[in-house]
Structure 1
């Protein structure tokens, strides 16, 4: 027989504490650069030696109606997503809606070595691909030993 006995009261207290901690910290992002769940469009950001690569997953948009701008190190993607053609009948009471429609604006902070004068964007298969070049001084270079 074990010398330790944990009654059910201990585990219920731990469960209660975990629920309280989750409700207390559940609304805050994990970092300053992260955003809340459900933000549209969702993005992936990566880097190469020559550029910062941003992919915004935005299916169903008209590329001509997308606005992309850079000001003071912030890249802004904005536009509007029209409501889907496949709507439920009028007498249907909706209890879940996961497809976003309406105006949106997404702001991404660029690193200091990003070159705002060297930006390329294209829309392919529902993805907005943005490439922001890096300043020449920040690119890796080989140094010859003499």
Structure 2
């Protein structure tokens, strides 16, 4: 309902909506226009988080977003997957599996990234634009590619 409301009023309305529907939502959370959020009752969002336009977040399997996270435009976090083992029915009607997505603190997710079901991205990591993250990565990682691979370790200070 407030998905495409622009300006400060839109940001405020989306924040109030999140606070009332999300499992847990921190302070200073910015959800920009055009973001699709599903199954918010299984989504936790930390403090100082920005989710930019055209993102798609499906929380059915559980999603936890830590503090100081930025999710650039047109990115997807999806905590569901389809099975394909029942050959008597089309794949789209096969059972769905649910597995949580965990984005730890201080993570930057570049534009157009896809984070798939069951993935954990460790703290202080960067995911390069366009990456498809289908497995978990430890903290201080720079990731990129399809499927995502470690590009390099980010130095700890």
TM-score per shorter chain, which class? under 0.3
RCO (CA 8 Å, sep 6+): is it higher in 1 or 2? 1
State the TM-score, normalizing by the size of structure 2.
Answer: 0.22
State the TM-score, normalizing by the size of structure 1.
Answer: 0.23
Which has more radius of gyration? 1
